[in-house]
Amino acid sequence: VDYETFKRKCTDDVRLFGFVRFTTGDAMSKRVKFALITWIGEDVSGLQRAKTGTDKTLVKEVVQNFAKEFVISDHKELDEDYIKNELKKAGGANYDAQTE
């Protein structure tokens, strides 16, 4: 499933976990980074919100290697450029082409 399909599934009445693969870098060096995204829609009940922590523990038993974890309930934060920028920050050294 591509990222746009995942984003469309993030509606206000659901909670989802996504293990998402992103390619970052520049023309000289491409790197693959993984993100664990927890989506909690605005209309999710309090009980379901509370269960998210327990369920995430179970998800993390299977999905163990990721560069950054996101807990998101605002559609703006699902923006692909925002996620990639955060992954780049989490990656440490930035070897993208520098402009002088």
Domain with residue 14: its CATH number is 3.40.20.10
Cβ neighbours around 4 below 10 Å, total:
8
Question: How many structural domains compose the chain?
Answer: 1
Work out the pLDDT band at 93, boundaries 50, 70, 90: low
Please state the pTM of the whole predicted model. Answer: 0.86
* 16-59 residue pLDDT tens: 999 999 998 777 888 899 999 999 999 999 999 999 999 999 99
Q: Is residue 43 part of a domain?
A: yes
Q: Is residue 29 part of a domain?
A: yes
Q: Is residue 95 part of a domain?
A: no
Q: What is the Cα–Cα distance from 98 to 8, expressed in whole angstroms?
A: 35
Domain that holds residue 68: 3-90
Q: Is residue 16 part of a domain?
A: yes
Q: Is residue 99 part of a domain?
A: no
DSSP assigned state of 75: G
